[in-house]
A and B are shown apart, each in its own frame.
Chain A
Amino acid sequence: MSSQLLSGAVALPVDRVPTRVGRRCAAHYDQDAVTLAAEAVLALPHEELPTPAALLFASVSPPYDEGGSAQLIAEIAGLGDELFCAELTATPRDGVAALRLADALVAADAGPVLVCAAHVRRSESERDTGDGAVALLLGDRGGLATLTPGPSHSEELRDRWRLAGERAPREADASFTEELGPARIARIVAQAARERVPEPVTAGGAAPSPDVGLLITGPSARSAARVERALGGTGDRAAARTGVLGAAHPLLRLLLSLRGPALLVAASGGLGDACLVEPADEAAVLAGDVEGQLADGREVPSLPPPPSQAGFEPYASGPRAWRERAQDLRLEGVVRDGRVLYPPPAGIEGERRPLARTGSVVTCARDYVYPGADSLQMAVVALDDGNRFYGQVVAGEEVEIGQQVRLVPRRLHAGGGLVQYFWKVTPCR
């Protein structure tokens, strides 16, 4: 079976902090796997694409361990309420696992499938990881690349894991992981690929043909790169610019590889999966776009720690959040006399339409007494559709009167244990 890659997009935080081997994308406290994934999904050229019938979300750092995060992404992106949503949250290799499931859904005529994956580092112990997200839309025809999943591997082996309720991952003894962990699994999968992938891809032993790139990702960028080079690949150059983006990393590498055929292998724990990527000529443009985003960014020495939440216990209500989800998550108002009324006035029925997501700053002010942040800039935005928005400026940015800005989804708080998402203001770049 194979499916078609119809489009892809990445969402990388603006800030880049130095690492041992380069730099990593670093998200501020108001970003998480949901906001990053939603930004990636929103960055897809939806007007040119078929409506997805399913959304598969892969992340080992979802905001909710139970209760689901994928539906939030679907709500923010306005994907409709008939969507099949599922998520894979076990290992960083789940980005490729999601491709495999998406392929099966496409083959079963379920319709186009949106695969998105995201990662935010949860502790300093995650030395190699960076923050970011990737979204891919798969269909059955007319794509930028043909994706052929398989083979897979499964055995009980723990190199990095978290017990229920734990935030920071535990890691196995380094020598054990090095000798028997994901690198070995990746070799096994790559070896199996030799038997599956048709000529000329499999020419030449364990490695695919020299004409087919090899992309190996695992929790450790260093060991994955070592295996990749040993098998004839060129190594993971993205990891030194973004950090390893968890489950999103293999998908990032997939997009970067769209200049030629490649075998994508992801392994973590005792699990491994592969996917053969065979791009069409026009896919190189997308690869170039993604390459450009890797080169963008703002070098900063470090990010400030999240602000204290002492004394900040915001009101929350599950019924309200559900009732007003379109208002909150999609900024939808009601159309009356050709204008969007936002927030939607009580008792007014009619067409729902989202506010424009770009505009210019009418005024702004930095506030030093709001309890949920060390300081917080608020802004009033004259949106391009004639409406107004008033809200927070994203963490790490500053705007000024007259500046062109856009609205992006962000975390506001987690009052009452419910993560509350809304839209914030960020400069246009």
Chain B
Amino acid sequence: MPIAGQVAIIGSAATRFGVLHDRGYLELLAEAARGAIAEAGIEQDELEAAWLGTAEPLTAALLGDAGTAVTEALDFAPRPVTRVSTFCCTGMEAVRAAAMSIAAGEYEYVLAVGAEKMRDVPPRGSLVARTANLTHPTLAKGRTAPGQFALLANRYLHEYDCTVEDLAAVAVKNHAHATHNPIAQYSEPLTVEAVLKAPRVAEPLGLLDCTPTTDGAAAVVLTSVEKARESRCPYAVIEAIALAVVDGYYAGFFHDYNDYLGFRVTREAATRAYRQAGITAPREQLDVVECHDCFTITELINYEDLGLCDRGEGAQLLRSGATSTGGDMPVNLSGGLQACGHPVGATGVRMIKEVADQVLGRAGERQVAGARRGAAHTLGGPGVASCVAVIGAP
């Protein structure tokens, strides 16, 4: 059977996100997983398999390089555990893979957990230097993640009605949202002035335009909708989950489909997910969205690629207040990657948890009244992979 509408999220949990010097990779993984299992109201022994999302095991002494990390952290032997890695889509891809196993009828209860320990090394050592050092010796050499998204920012500012103040306003909005999120790495409000005065990272992006590097983990327990209904526990439904991959890591930089004003891969993933969920007008049919705001520019572009507004109108949508708390299309009420931080493997799982909490009415101070359906979106690598999930109330 298809995933869409047939797989339920019966438990979810996330650790605090941040610079967590007091906890190691396995502890984070275990905390999130046990929290999700507890919320699901099942015993750990009832889980039959697990999927682990970890993108950068090299930042944590190779822990998370294979599914064996789950086995060790949860005493999970001899059950199968598979590690997946799809750049920043890693966590959501772990959920997708786990959901497929339920849809296929192979298992009744499975775990999807994303974990990343990025801050056992300094921020630059965790991703920037690693990318600069370990990537291809010639192709795209010089690329960093902020540098790559700055290419889009400059093109976007050049082409559309958008200013650096608009970019800064994304960070301000999401940090304001995060003041209501107890797990966020940063929960202090920001001002546009502070964002613009922050040290420059890759023009026009400053430090506060960028997601921080973060430790954290998040997990969900999945079962079939049929089983969830029988159990009478609260559950959310995966109405759709679609991964699109459009190119290789290095080759993508040299191909001309990228207009540097948006991401084809997000549009592909959204098209597939919306088709699965029967969504034809996302602005009207979604109550809440968590999207991949790794950099401020990315959120504006995501609005467009996810169909929340027309191309080139992302800044206007932001200015309208629609995507803020109380707006008709609230985006990243969790604080997003901007304020929650971005433990890569955990992020997609956290997003799905956030949307599930919203449609189940348990998002606390972030709750959108009457939310019944929301979308979560991740974007990976140099814009070559994207995963979009639609989560609904039963």
Contacts of B148 in A (CB 8 A): 378
Q: Are A365 and B133 touching (Cβ within 8 A)?
A: no
Query: Which one of B14-22, B68-76, B90-98, B124-132 is at the interface?
Result: B124-132
User: A380 and B201: CB pair below 8 A?
Assistant: no
Inter-chain contact B137/A317, CB cutoff 8 Å: yes
Measured between alpha carbons, how far is A321 from B133 in the docked complex, in Å? 16
Of the listed stretches A113-121, A183-191, A384-392, name the one at the interface; the rest are far from the partner chain.
A384-392
> Restricting to A282-321, which residues have a CB under 8 Å from any CB of B?
311-317, 320-321
- How many cross-chain pairs have Cβ atoms below 8 Å apart between A and B? 128
Asked if A368 contacts B137 (CB within 8 A), the reply is no
CA distance A366 to B204 in the complex (A): 8
Contacts of B132 in A (CB 8 A): 312, 314, 370-372
Contacting pair B137 A386 (CB below 8 A): no
A401 x B158 contact (CB < 8 A) = yes
A371 and B129 contact, CB distance less than 8 A: yes
Min Cβ gap A313→B in Å is 5
In contact, A378 and B143 (Cβ under 8 angstroms): yes
Residues of B118-174 whose CB lies within 8 A of A: 124-125, 128-129, 132-144, 146-148, 150-155, 158
Q: Does A382 contact B (CB under 8 A)?
A: yes
Interface residue B202 (Cβ < 8 Å from any Cβ of A)? yes
Q: Is B128 touching A401 in the complex (CB atoms < 8 A)?
A: no
* Also in contact, A368 and B202, with CB within 8 A (given A315-B134, A342-B254, A388-B255): yes
Interface size of A by CB at 8 A reads 44
CA distance A387 to B254 in the complex (A): 7
A413 to B138, CA, bound (A): 9
State whether the Cβ of A206 lies closer than 8 Å to any Cβ in chain B.
no
Residue of B nearest to A423 (CB): B138
Name the interface residues of A332-390: CB closer than 8 Å to any CB of B.
Answer: 342-343, 345, 362-373, 376, 378, 380, 382, 386-390
B252 to chain A minimum Cβ distance, whole angstroms, is 9
Chain A 51-76 interface 0/1 with B at a Cβ cutoff of 8 Å (1 = within): 00000000000000000000000000
A44 interface hit (Cβ, 8 Å): no
Contact at B202–A369, with CB atoms within 8 Å?
yes
B310 is an interface residue with CB less than 8 A from chain A: no
Q: Kindly provide the distance from the CB of A107 to the nearest chain B CB, expressed in whole angstroms.
A: 40
> Any chain A CB within 8 A of the CB of B107?
no
Q: Which residues of A contact B106 (CB under 8 A)?
A: none
- In the complex, which residue of chain B has the Cβ closest to the Cβ of A415? B137
Tell me if B150 and A365 are in contact (CB < 8 A): yes
User: For residue B143, which residues in chain A have a CB less than 8 angstroms away from its CB?
Assistant: 378, 390
Interface residue A420 (Cβ < 8 Å from any Cβ of B): yes
Q: Which residues of A contact B128 (CB under 8 A)?
A: 369-371
Interface set, chain B 323-357, CB cutoff 8 A to A: none
Question: How far, in whole Å, are A235 and B134 apart by their CA atoms in the complex?
Answer: 52
CA–CA, A145 and B258, complex, Å:
51
* Distance of A343 Cα from B138 Cα, bound (Å): 11
- A316–B133 CA distance with the chains assembled, in angstroms: 9
Complex: how many Å from CA A366 to CA B138?
18
- B254 and A367: CB pair below 8 A? no
Whether the Cβ atoms of B201 and A369 lie closer than 8 Å is yes
When distances are taken between beta carbons in the complex, the residues of chain A under 8 Å from B199 are: 368
Alpha-carbon separation in the docked complex, A362 to B203 (Å): 16
B257 to chain A, nearest CB (A): 9
> Given contacts A364-B154, A369-B144, is CB(A388)–CB(B134) below 8 Å?
no
Binding site for B on A (CB under 8 A): 311-317, 320-321, 324, 327-328, 342-343, 345, 362-373, 376, 378, 380, 382, 386-392, 401, 412-413, 415, 420, 422
Known: A315-B134, A362-B260, A422-B141. 6 other contacts (CB 8 A): A366-B203, A367-B144, A373-B142, A378-B142, A378-B143, A388-B254
Binding site for A on B (CB under 8 A): 124-125, 128-129, 132-144, 146-148, 150-155, 158, 199-203, 250-251, 253-256, 258, 260
29 contacts across the A-B interface (CB closer than 8 A): A312-B129, A312-B133, A314-B141, A315-B133, A316-B137, A327-B139, A343-B250, A363-B154, A363-B158, A365-B154, A365-B203, A367-B146, A368-B200, A369-B124, A369-B128, A370-B128, A371-B133, A376-B142, A380-B151, A387-B254, A387-B256, A388-B253, A388-B254, A390-B254, A391-B141, A391-B142, A412-B141, A415-B137, A420-B141
Query: What 4 A-B pairs are tightest by C-beta distance, nearest first?
Result: A365-B150, A367-B147, A363-B155, A390-B253
